[in-house]
Every structure is written in structure tokens, then in C-alpha cells.
Amino acid sequence: MSTNQIGLEKAELTPVIKALNALLSSYHLFYINVRGYHWNVKGEHFFTLHPKFEELYTELQLQIDEIAERILTLGGTPLHAYSDFAERSSIKENKGVFDGRGCVEGVVKGLQTLIEEQRAVAELAEEASDQGTSDIVTGYVQAQEKEIWMYNAFLG
Ligand SMILES: [Fe+2]
């Protein structure tokens, strides 16, 4: 048995690192979808949704960096190619969405998918005694659950 630089079993972390790379992939696909909503949204809610989507993708960008650096902290290597992200992401590309409602529905679906994926990551991390990773993704889950409530309130 060998441990990494923060005293966790390397072998036990292998599935955690793999799951974090898949999560990193999902975040990238969601990020680029939200940029599309920010750019393309049209209609009466433009002035509300355009900045709201900017706020969201700015947050996603910070989370992307935090997840990648967590992978490095655990002794892994973060993926950094779009071909890898497309292969591993649980969120798919969402092209050509222009109406506000469709954009918000895409956001809600993306957040729901991230939450599910992160709950699974938190379980894997806890099995490896990796509370640090579990705390990071659980924090994201809490914030995203609230976001879903707000976006659903917009949808009525
Ligand atoms: Fe912009």
C-alpha cells in the first residue's frame, strides 16, 4: 500500500480521480453550452438572462479550475483536450437554442446532471477517506440545488 502527498491510499484514489476527470468533462460541456445561451438568447428576457448566464459561466470556470487542481492535489492528471471531454461528459452539447425558456431549461437540466454526478463523486471520495474532495463537490451541490429552485421559479 502506498500513500500520496496528502496521506491517502493511491489505489483507493484511482476511481476518485477518474470520476473527477469525468466531472471536469461535464463541467466543460456545460460551460460551453451556457456561453451559447449567453450569446444567443433573444426575446423579452434578454436583459435578465444575458447577464445571469454570464454569472453562471464565470462560476463554472472557477469550479473547473478547482476540480482540475484537486485532481493534481490527489496525484492525478487533469484532462485538457476537448475530444476527451466530449467522450466522458455526462452533459451533451446543446446547439442552436435561442429562446429564453429553452436556454433556462438547458441550464436546469445541466445543473441536475452535475448534481447527480457530484453526489456519486462524494460517495466515492468518502469510501477513499477523501473528505476534501467530498466537501468540494458537496458545496457545489448545495449551491446548484438553490440555483435550480431559482431557474425553475423563472420557468413558473
Ligand atoms: Fe458577454
b/e map 32-66, b = 16+ CB within 10 Å: bbbbbbbebbeeebeeebbebbeebbebbeebbeb
CA of residue 52 to ligand 1 center, whole Å: 11
Three-state DSSP class for residue 99: strand
Looking at residue 1, what is its pLDDT? 72
Q: What is the CATH number assigned to the segment(s) 27-155?
A: 1.20.1260.10
CA of residue 41 to ligand 1 center, whole Å: 11
Residues 6+ apart with CB under 8 A from 21: 71, 76, 78, 79, 84, 88
For residue 35 the three cell numbers come to: 456561453
Looking at residue 22, what is its pLDDT? 98
Looking at residue 34, what is its pLDDT? 98
Amino acid present at 5? Q
Count helices and strands in the chain by DSSP H and E runs: 5, 0
Residues 6+ apart with CB under 8 A from 19: 117, 120, 121, 124
CA of residue 51 to ligand 1 center, whole Å: 8
Mean pLDDT by 10 residues, the chain (156 residues): 90 96 98 98 97 98 98 98 98 97 98 98 97 98 98 96
CA of residue 54 to ligand 1 center, whole Å: 7
